[in-house]
Structure 1
Amino acid sequence: MRMSLIRNIHRLKKFQCHRVSCRTLFGFSRPDDWNKAVTDAEKVVGYPTSFMSLRCLLSDELSNVAIHMRKLVGTKHPLLKTARGLVYDGTHNLQTRGLIVLLISKTAGLSQNNFHQQQDVIEGILPSQRSLAEIAEMIYTANLIHKGVVNLSDIQPSDGSVHDMELGNKMAVLTGDFLLANASTGLAQLHNTKVVETISSCIGDHVSAEFTGLQDKNGRPYLPDNVTFNDWLNQTFLSSGSLLSKSCLAAVELAGHGLEEQTSAFEFGKNMALAQQLSEDLKPFLKPEDNLEQLTITSAPVIKYIASSYNKHPISLFNIYSQKKILEVIKDSSILSESKTLCNEYGEKAINSLSKFKNCQAKNALIKIVKAVVDV
């Protein structure tokens, strides 16, 4: 089993050099722009983008998980899809978050009062910042796996047996918990109480994201009667923006920078996450032939439309409309162009937040990534 995992890791490295699609954590930007931005960024940080430590991946605990995973083959348990993405997705959709943490670390550099850490710097990045990038990936992955728990009372015969689905739930809970435990251990080893507090709050935010009112009891997208665009902003920050923005802040804190630099790093991560999610939400409307199945009623264009003067439909109807009907309704308004403008605004805010830092390759790499994200 360990040799199998090693082969999978080598396969990931091979895919890194031959990216054939651009399905990433940060949307579906044009392949050429996105691939070049990420490839250039990887060269800048001088570090492989597989942040999940080999010791963690090759541990007996995860080896046992891989063995039991075979029992889920043939079922529709979400954990299978998540596992395929973790191991076989050659587009490295899990590494981009950590890559940004490393880029912001190198962009900020060490504070002038931190000369005692100079000898530890490799490629302009501290070992503690590299550990932070790995921790951020583990927390994100743990949350992704935990989301794979299904409501057993709602499963259909075609989904698989109740026994198999229950096994999948147990594996999702235990595997996610295992990764969170490793992340917590890594946080403690950073010996920085502020960073521990900051990153720990991201886990709480992930939990809070499940109780914002934009999901039903089974976790499916749902629109309450009083929904506003602020609900989308809150949901996006809790589910993705919190971890990215606070990880960027923590990276700057580890380098000894003050509140002003930390705030700039936080604003970059927050606006980057908002731009990414808005860009992703726009894809089903701009390219329905490829992405219609990803359209949800809680996407930014839908909520923005509902809150606009164009809306002539009761909110309750959107909860039962088909994806094609929603597409038809939204396309007859100017919401898409307004959403694209807003996406660009978030991208500009992210870039402007970097003005506090000196010009360098890492900063340019971050700017290129932002531009690739908002290019929808």
Structure 2
Amino acid sequence: MRDCGPVQARQWYIICRMVSKSRGLVHDSQNNLQLRGLVVLLISKAAGPSSVNASCQSYDMVSGIYSCQRSLAEITELIHTALLVHRGIVNLDELQSSDGPLKDMQFGNKIAILSGDFLLANACNGLALLQNTKVVELLASALMDLVQGVYHENSTSAKENHITDDIGILTWKKQTFLSHGALLAKSCQAAMELAKHDAEVQDMAFQYGKHMAMSHKINSDLQPFIKEKTSDSLTFNLNSAPVVLHQEFLGRDLWIKQIREAQRKGRLDYAKLRETISAGKGVTSAIDLCRYHGNKALEALESFPPSEARTALENIVFAVTRFS
């Protein structure tokens, strides 16, 4: 973390305390989920300072990364964590008596809203301190994309008991970019803007962030279908990449028929439905799509000079596109 005054240090202490209360937001038992800030730092180091623009040479640089780029990495993580906290809000209308006291859920929602807003406020303050209007514009548009993407995810049709949307893979990709790819893509572009790189380098950074985020999301969607040991009770999103592709191959009518066949006493048998989907072409097609986006991310990196940072970015892509 960059040097800061006592007030700012206190704010960061509160943030760390809040995040440590919910470690699942940033770390699970196997993987560090703070990927976005790391990618921003790595791509900043891979690009290095601009060779044609010396206007930012007065900035502090440590290990090949400007202090403003480090601040941007922190801001990106703050925005992402705030979104995760806000997503923890519970729909009280869907609660049953067995879920616990309603007052506790209401209190939890208020804390989630306030905590997320606090993180976003600090992110906005950090953006203002960067004193770069283009970077502010990029991150503001990323926030708008996030809100729009989450809205699309939560707005399902009134048919089929809100189980599944009638969307194709092109629509899925557009919505997924908004909710999962825009923040990383535009943060990578903003990191290049802070170092005064030209438009071509900025676009390559944007393309890497976009395609790496898409590949990462598809990999996450595939996990319930490719893990060797999967709990029979494990649920998965019926609007995830493998399922959307499965529906495209089948057609909407056959897909709804398969859902109804997997229902027992009003509840969906995910184990049976997972076997049905795995037997089709959706899973293999999703793996191919994941690798396609991974290759696009690697192509974007070819414009950066060889370095340890570039190799690390390549290894991140290899990690999310390896399935054997």
After superposition, residues 14-33 of structure 1 pair within 5 angstroms as none
Q: Provide the TM-score with structure 1 as the length reference.
A: 0.74
Residues 337 and 310 of structure 1: CA distance in aligned 2, closer, same or farther (over 3 Å): farther
Structure 2 residue 151 is the aligned partner of structure 1 residue 196? no
Q: Which residue number in structure 1 is paired with residue 61 of structure 2?
A: 121
- Which shows bigger deviation, 229-238 or 123-132? 229-238
**1:214 and 1:222 in contact (8 A); partners too:** no
Letter of the structure 2 residue corresponding to residue 280 of structure 1: S
* Count of paired positions: 308
**2:56 and 2:196 in contact (8 A); partners too:** no
Cα distance in 2 for partners of 1:280, 1:213 equals 16
**2:26 and 2:32 in contact (8 A); partners too:** no
Cα distance in 2 for partners of 1:273, 1:88 equals 18
Superimposed CA distance per residue, residues 308-335 of structure 1 (whole angstroms, 9 cap, x where no aligned partner) = 1577724375385421222122122233
Letter of the structure 1 residue corresponding to residue 11 of structure 2: C
Cα distance in 1 for partners of 2:31, 2:238 equals 27
Structure 2 residue 238 is the aligned partner of structure 1 residue 297? yes
Residues 195 and 358 of structure 1: CA distance in aligned 2, closer, same or farther (over 3 Å): same
Q: CA deviation at 1:278?
A: 1.0
User: Which has the bigger relative contact order, CA under 8 A and spacing at least 6?
Assistant: 1
Q: Which residue number in structure 1 is paired with residue 23 of structure 2?
A: 84
Q: CA deviation at 1:183?
A: 0.1
**1:248 and 1:265 in contact (8 A); partners too:** yes
Q: CA deviation at 1:211?
A: 2.4
Superimposed CA distance per residue, residues 24-56 of structure 1 (whole angstroms, 9 cap, x where no aligned partner) = xxxxxxxxxxxxxxxxxxxxxxx89xxxx8643
Aligned CA RMSD, in angstroms, stands at 2.9
After superposition, residues 307-346 of structure 1 pair within 5 angstroms as 307-309=248-250, 313-315=254-256, 318=259, 321-346=268-293
* SS class of match (2:249): coil
Residues 154 and 309 of structure 1: CA distance in aligned 2, closer, same or farther (over 3 Å): closer
Q: CA deviation at 1:88?
A: 6.7
**1:215 and 1:222 in contact (8 A); partners too:** no
Letter of the structure 1 residue corresponding to residue 294 of structure 2: G
Superimposed CA distance per residue, residues 331-364 of structure 1 (whole angstroms, 9 cap, x where no aligned partner) = 2223322221221111111000111111111101
Q: Provide the TM-score with structure 2 as the length reference.
A: 0.86
**2:249 and 2:281 in contact (8 A); partners too:** no
Give the unaligned 5+ runs of structure 2. Answer: 3-7
* SS class of match (1:308): helix
**1:310 and 1:333 in contact (8 A); partners too:** no
Cα distance in 1 for partners of 2:273, 2:145 equals 30
Give the unaligned 5+ runs of structure 1. Answer: 1-46, 70-79
Q: CA deviation at 1:246?
A: 0.6
Letter of the structure 2 residue corresponding to residue 347 of structure 1: G
Q: Which residue number in structure 2 is paired with residue 167 of structure 1?
A: 107
Residues 314 and 367 of structure 1: CA distance in aligned 2, closer, same or farther (over 3 Å): closer
Cα distance in 1 for partners of 2:219, 2:125 equals 34
